[in-house]
Amino acid sequence: MPKIIGVCISDRKGIPKKNIGKADLEVGLGIKDDAHAGKWHRQISLLAKESIDKMKELMKGMKSDPTKEFELIEGSFAENLTTEGIELKNLPIGTELKVGDSVRLKVTQIGKECHTKCAIFRKVGNCIMPTEGIFAEVLEGGPVKVGDPITQL
């Protein structure tokens, strides 16, 4: 069953987020203490573990393996929710997702243009978030924690 494996926040944009294990998602905002929270269409960012694994494989093929310098884990790509077992990048805009018991999200954007190049891009010259990350707005808020199921409605 698809599930959440990371619930992550940061206090500023352009840096990896820290997996805090649980958070409350607020309608029209996202995660209150996260740098990306706000009244816009990208309140929550999601990235699949499978995409992170793909990036790890790409990095291993590089001349000097950047994975020796740092570990790619939940939040490394500045995503709020790291998932496992669901093909996020293939979900159409408008898809609704249920997370845990009460949270409902609506996919608003697939991928993004990376204007300022994040910490990962600066270190390795590539980042998976612009092509495989998705963004959503919070339709129904509530608690989300690592281990919660995530399902397409």
Residue ranges covered by each domain of the chain: 3-142
Mean pLDDT for the chain? 87
Kindly state the percentage of the chain with pLDDT values over 90: 61
Span 57-73, average pLDDT: 65
Distance from first CA to last CA of the chain, Å, rounded? Answer: 14
Q: Are strands 150-152 and 96-99 parallel, antiparallel or unpaired?
A: antiparallel
- Joined tokens for residue 116: 């300022």
CATH domain 3-142 topology: M1 Pyruvate Kinase; Domain 3 (2.40.33)
Residue partners of 49: CB distance under 8 A and separation at least 6: 5, 74, 82, 83, 84
pLDDT score of 12 more than 80: yes
Q: What angle do CA 6, 108, 19 make, to 5 degrees?
A: 15
pTM higher than 0.85: yes
Under 8 Å between Cβ of 131 and 102: no
